[in-house]
A and B are shown apart, each in its own frame.
Chain A
């Protein structure tokens, strides 16, 4: 467990020495009080300059607070040896901060070697850690510069995990990679956390990333003040301050849907046609049919104009409209609604785990379902308040 008690970090005015006055200068973190539970995934989120990184770096004493106390497992870290403390806390930064002159395996073995493990034993163990984060051990003897950004980031995570520290600090680790790779890395991180149960403090400016990864979100505002510290669904549904409301943005209602299950939304039959039988289709004006492969994987939507195009000898790709996002059975309301509204036909496509089409979703039914869920919640709340009457 990590606690912040009245922690403040103030930097003196740049350039000039402030004459005794402690009030001048910039306040990076303003009397922060925070309890981070063991084995939780806590995300510090906020705009740049809000003190989120400063707060995180105070945990491993990379930054010393101006006042206040930080404890790790009940021990005041100011009284512990900084070097020893750091060797017990994993650290991952943006673009990984790998040692460019050491091979991948030696990078991963760094902290165990610093702690006194023999280089050979540390290397052997490092190979196992590489596999755990989803990296081919064939990369072991390469230098970091030979890896892609996403691979470097995985090595960064492997290096932080190598000494099996109970705490992991991650400073915007995935912000320098492209969105597809970022999503992969986030999924990987959630998988690792489910398996390893570390106490993770993760810094990001991306509210979507925060909502996706965190058990708890700490929203920091300008001036280094903590605005709200709660579960992500609570931050989205009831922002504590105007700042939080504006920071989580106009899409917060939509984002909040990702915490609601879509299991009760009905999945209807869907008109599909195999690719090879498109020219035989008889469609009415305004009717859409989903084109599928032999494995029933969706290819795109076709209407009467498209069918005419096929008959005129145009390719399938030219004649169909690209499909929208797909809803995988078992997903949440956000995915379900997005599938419906991103589809050119207005019909959401539901697929199973293997990617085969299983049916269709109706946008208005999804909204009705949301309203029903809300009504049930209201009733449950009223029951709770007035149940004794």
Chain B
């Protein structure tokens, strides 16, 4: 603990890098998976192929991906972009499974009546299906976010910044305090981030909580 308190500035700096390296891939993953997942959902054979490809992509070990990306894309080996790209691949692979499942959770009667009222497909997807899919979608996003936070630390093995450096340095210097500081910081970061996403999800879906409290109010009236 002593080490963590004394070097708080260093840890804070590493945390910022760590957060950046996990958050950007998540956003890229969302930007790809939401439209693609929405499009492939209703064509069963394309959906099956997409899911298979995504599953295979997720089985590639992260370290292997970190070191092969420079060879494929011609980036420098120590560039942070390698980690961002690798984690974006994982995020997309996970989310592309979540998005269709989240859309499946929307009641058919609601989608059907929206169509019967004269929604166009695009407007219905944005205005009805995605908002109603949010509870399931947010649950999926939380899994991906925490996965990313843990995977970024692997990047330190190939010299990329982030809280994982506390592990590599502490191991090389045989200094357990630093390793413990790394564990505490990463767990703390993951918990904070998860809680933030949970609260954001609640904030965006006020109608999901209202039923029960209103039921009580009605019973009292």
Contact = CB atoms under 8 A, between A and B. Distances in A.
Contacts of B131: 101
A336 B42 CA distance: 57
A10 interface: no
A87 B107 CA distance: 22
B114 A99 contact: yes
A77 B64 CA distance: 59
Contacts of B115: 62, 86
Interface stretch (A90-98, A321-329, A366-374): A90-98
Interface in B122-177: 123, 128, 131-132
A101 to B, nearest CB: 5
A120 interface: no
Interface in A95-115: 95-101, 110-111, 114-115
Interface stretch (B26-34, B76-84, B203-211): B203-211
Contact of B118 (A57, A87, A101, A145): A87
B113 interface: yes
A295 B74 CA distance: 95
Interface residues of B, number: 25
B109 A142 contact: no
B112, B205, B207 interface centre (most CB from chain A within 10 Å):
B207
Contact of A62 (B112, B120, B132, B215): B112
B117 A91 contact: yes
B118 A93 contact: no
A111 B117 contact: yes
B215 to A, nearest CB: 8
Given A84-B118, A101-B132, A145 B214 contact: yes
B184 interface: no
A83 interface: yes
B110 interface: yes
Given A99-B110, A100-B110, A143-B207, A86 B117 contact: yes
Nearest to B115: A62
A146 B211 contact: yes
A60 interface: yes
Given A84-B118, A114-B118, A97 B211 contact: no
Interface string A53-65: 0000100101000
Contacts of A94: 109
Interface in B95-120: 107, 109-110, 112-120
Interface in A263-289: none
Given A62-B112, A97-B113, A100-B132, A86 B118 contact: yes
Contacts of A145: 207, 210-211, 214
A94 B110 CA distance: 11
Contacts of A143: 206-207, 210-211, 214
A265 B135 CA distance: 63
Contacts of A99: 110, 114, 128
A101 B130 CA distance: 11
A125 to B, nearest CB: 16
Contacts of B215: 146
Contacts of A87: 117-118
A114 B128 CA distance: 13
B153 to A, nearest CB: 38
Contact of A95 (B109, B119, B205, B211): B109
A111 B119 CA distance: 9
Nearest to B120: A83
Contacts of B207: 100-101, 143, 145
Nearest to A146: B214
Interface in A163-189: 169
A100 B210 CA distance: 11
Most buried by B among A100, A111, A148, A169: A100
Nearest to A148: B218
Interface in A153-170: 159, 169
Nearest to A88: B118
Contact of A97 (B112, B210, B217): B112
Given A83-B120, A101-B132, A101-B205, A142 B214 contact: yes
Contacts of A146: 210-211, 214-215, 217-218
A111 B214 contact: no
Contacts of B119: 83, 114
A96 B116 CA distance: 12
A110 B117 contact: yes
Nearest to A102: B207
Given A99-B110, A99-B114, A146-B215, 6 more contacts: A87-B117, A87-B118, A91-B117, A114-B118, A143-B210, A146-B210
Question: Top 9 A-B pairs ranked by shortest CB distance?
Answer: A97-B113, A87-B118, A146-B214, A86-B118, A145-B211, A91-B116, A143-B207, A97-B109, A101-B207
Interface of A: 57, 60, 62, 83-87, 91, 93-101, 110-111, 114-115, 142-143, 145-146, 148, 159, 169
10 contacts: A60-B116, A85-B118, A91-B113, A93-B112, A94-B109, A111-B117, A143-B214, A145-B214, A146-B217, A159-B117
